[in-house]
Amino acid sequence: MSLFNRIIKFIGLVLLVIGVNVMPMILIGNQSKTPIMLQWVFGLLYLVLAFLIIRKVWKTYLKKEDYKITGRPFTLEELGIAVLFFFGARLVAVVGTLLLQKLTGNAMSANDAALQASASDLKNMFPLYFVAFQVMIGFFAPVLEELTFRGFFSRYFFKKDNKWAKWLVSSLIFALLHAFKPIELIMYFALGSVFFFAFRREENIRDSIVVHMMNNGLIVIFSVFNYILLLMGVI
């Protein structure tokens, strides 16, 4: 495959990432203009299409990987190592939050703020859109982003032993697509680095996907907990 074709395919994957990640927010932002029946149709259509897209990308990636790597069982030891990387990701988040607060006065990045729904947002959100939004954060985004930024990117542009260039460039691209301010760029570069080294340990994309899911899962747990409290009338 020529370099031009690899670049085009990678750009296409990045556009898929953006589309899958942004679509629930577009649906939520336009729900007041959308009839209830169409909200059900759009919500279900998004979930089905996003799942099929990720399934296709996943199968395509597996064809390029060594089954000796991807076919390994995910043991308790592997889970324990993933938890350690997750703690590393949380350390990055805590330090990044403190720096953001110190330098900008904001307690979270613009990207995180977009993912955090207030009580009023939750109250007015169509239930299926809420489900689609949480599935995107907790499952679709981690899988598709890791396949794109750690998996395909490494395979398309670098030799297997060129780990430092892979780390620098892939983490920088990941950060550029998540950051809005210079300090956020540093924060997301560090977070992308955690995911990269989780992947790099055994060159198994599954490992970084699990760590990424754990990291995003905290946002999902917080949102679902708030939503339950809202339904119970506590908040």
Task: Please name the residue that has the structure tokens 């780390």.
Answer: 167
Structure-block tokens of residue 204: 């198994």
Q: Count CA within 13 A, CB hemisphere, residue 179.
A: 20
**By three-state DSSP, how is residue 34 classified?**
coil
Confidence band, pLDDT 50/70/90 cuts, at residue 120: low
> In this model, does residue 161 exceed pLDDT 60?
yes
Contact (Cβ atoms closer than 8 angstroms) between residue 31 and residue 173: no
Q: What is the mean pLDDT of the chain?
A: 87
Most confident of 152-156, 191-195, 199-203: 191-195
- Exposure letters 5-26 (e unless 16+ CB within 10 A, then b): eeeeebeebbebbeebbebbee
Contact (Cβ atoms closer than 8 angstroms) between residue 31 and residue 39: yes
pTM: 0.91
> In this model, does residue 188 exceed pLDDT 90?
yes
At 101, which amino acid appears? Q
Cβ neighbours of residue 193 closer than 8 Å, sequence gap 6 or more? 167, 171
Structure-block tokens of residue 113: 């703020």
